[in-house]
């Protein structure tokens, strides 16, 4: 079956008593049992069931099963937000004294989580160039517990070669964990490309409407957890399900970052149209990127499927769409703000992969708390715009961009902006 057919017709664990066509929202914190023995059996994991929504709930389970059906994953756990998915994963896989291999080109809050909280708890974070396999190899040791990167870094748009990374990690039994928010399953088969665990902000493409927060931890079933020092003890009890079982029965249950049943139902609805929306937004983004390349006010337009992009080779061999994000630079902050303020249709906002197109200047917002040198090292510049392209009619987007670029204060760009791209990757 195709992606959308599976999304529409995946089955919940139990048919609804009344045959409701949409799986009901189980708005209940706890669940009762007719017999004390049954309650005990569910607590002990000897019987399937839900006892308390912080750990599990039928509506959230229906979403998890739908994700399993469309992705072919081994196990799925839904969380309150994408950041909750990342923090739960880290707490489940790491102990003080361990290290992780990652890159500095990460979504700002993920970077901050690595640099602050986990460093404070005694986890060493080793930043490498994930496209330099020898550098990865040189940084792995017996305390390395995972490699974390994004399928497309946000906003630098760097795409790793996942099979090449997986090959070196396999030599050392280190799982490959990838935040695939930017490239859902219909445009990137992460499992096929060696990704062991996927982390997803469901707030983005899956929700589509930008109306709820949500996160997903997806175990593709490709990593043998008995080789992971911190999970080996759980393998004795839970076998290949050790990772998700540890999350569900310990880390996630104890940290309490639970998705709400209402959000689960809305995300489930979003999944049904995901393929249609993602394809449209990718098509629009490529048209917008090519259009921006023709504008004299604009420089360094980047989009993974532009032939001029450094990510083109990796993106075109692994993805069937380039995602929603296009980045480009105007001369400076004054020009960037004049452009942003003139936009009529495209909204000024921080989210990505909304059905609506959104624009932001990341240097002055998402990364505002970082010192200037750091922001330049992250390849940001004062005139940079991150555009998240939605599903509007593309002619309307081009018209809005053109009228916003035509501001008296906007200066044509002679060359690259002065302070950008300080570090080549
Ligand atoms: C790539 C990526 N990963 C993770 C997150 C965090 O997701 P959430 O906002 O759902 O916590 C974001 C948020 O923008 C993101 O862009």
pLDDT for position 406? 81
Is the C-beta atom of 354 inside 6 A of ligand 1?
Answer: no
Tell me which of 90, 109, 324 to substitute to probe ligand 1's pocket, judged by most ligand atoms within 8 Å of the beta carbon: 109
Closest C-alpha to ligand 1, atom 12: 201
CA of 177 to the centre of ligand 1 (A): 15
pLDDT in tens, 330-344: 999 999 999 999 999
302 Cβ closer than 6 Å to some ligand 1 atom: no
Outline where DSSP puts E strands in 209-348.
215-219, 299-302, 325-329, 347-348
pLDDT at position 413, please?
63
> Which of 79, 81, 83, 266 to mutate for ligand 1's pocket (most ligand atoms within 8 Å of CB)?
83
In the DSSP assignment, the letter for residue 410 is P
The pLDDT, as a whole number, for residue 415 is 56
Q: Give pTM, 2 decimals.
A: 0.94
Ligand 1 contacts CB of residue 366 (under 6 A): no
Helix axes 333-342, 394-405, angle to 10 degrees: 130
- Residue ranges of the chain whose pLDDT lies below 50: 418-425
- pLDDT at position 411 is 65
* Mutation pick for ligand 1 pocket among 201, 213, 324 (CB with most ligand atoms within 8 Å): 201
82-103 burial, b if ≥16 CB within 10 A, otherwise e? Answer: bbbbbbbbbbbbbeeebbbbbb
Please report the domains of the chain, with CATH numbers, ordered by start residue.
3-271 (3.40.640.10), 276-405 (3.90.1150.10)
pLDDT score, position 425: 25
């Amino acid at each position: 079956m195709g992606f959308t057919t599976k999304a529409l017709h995946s089955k919940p664990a139990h048919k609804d008593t009344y045959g409701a066509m949409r799986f009901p929202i189980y708005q209940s914190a706890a669940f009762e049992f007719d017999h004390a023995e049954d309650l005990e059996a569910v607590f002990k994991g000897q019987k399937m069931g839900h006892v308390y929504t912080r750990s599990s709930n039928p509506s959230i389970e229906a979403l998890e099963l739908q994700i399993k059906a469309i992705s072919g994953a081994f196990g799925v756990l839904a969380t309150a937000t994408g950041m909750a998915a990342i923090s739960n994963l880290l707490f489940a896989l790491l102990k003080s004294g361990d290290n992780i291999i990652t890159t500095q080109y990460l979504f700002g809050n993920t970077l901050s989580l690595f640099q602050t909280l986990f460093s404070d708890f005694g986890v060493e974070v080793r930043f490498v160039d994930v496209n330099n396999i020898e550098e990865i190899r040189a940084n792995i040791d017996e305390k390395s517990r995972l490699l974390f990167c994004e399928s497309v870094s946000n906003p630098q748009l760097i795409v790793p070669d996942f099979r090449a990374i997986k090959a070196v990690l396999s030599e050392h039994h280190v799982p490959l964990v990838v935040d695939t928010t930017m490239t859902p399953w219909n445009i990137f088969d992460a499992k096929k490309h060696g990704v062991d665990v996927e982390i997803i902000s469901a707030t983005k493409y899956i929700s589509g409407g930008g109306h709820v927060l949500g996160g997903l931890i997806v175990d593709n079933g490709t990593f043998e957890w008995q080789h992971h020092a911190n999970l080996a003890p759980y393998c004795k009890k839970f076998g290949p399900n050790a990772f998700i079982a540890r999350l569900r029965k310990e880390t996630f249950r104890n940290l309490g970052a639970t998705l709400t049943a209402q959000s689960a139902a809305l995300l489930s609805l979003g999944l049904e149209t995901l393929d249609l929306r993602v394809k449209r937004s990718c098509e629009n983004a490529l048209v917008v990127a090519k259009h921006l390349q023709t504008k004299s006010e604009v420089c360094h337009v980047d989009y993974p499927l532009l032939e001029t992009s450094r990510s083109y080779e990796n993106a075109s061999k692994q993805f069937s769409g380039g995602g929603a994000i296009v980045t480009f630079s105007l001369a400076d902050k004054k020009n960037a703000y004049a452009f942003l303020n003139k936009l009529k249709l495209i909204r000024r906002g921080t989210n990505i992969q909304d059905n609506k197109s959104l624009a932001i200047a990341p240097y002055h917002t998402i990364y505002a708390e970082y010192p200037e040198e750091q922001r330049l090292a992250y390849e940001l510049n004062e005139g940079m715009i991150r555009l998240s392209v939605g599903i509007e009619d593309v002619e309307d987007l081009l018209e809005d961009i053109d009228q916003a670029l035509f501001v008296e204060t906007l200066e044509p760009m002679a060359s690259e902006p002065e302070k950008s791209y300080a570090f080549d990757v």
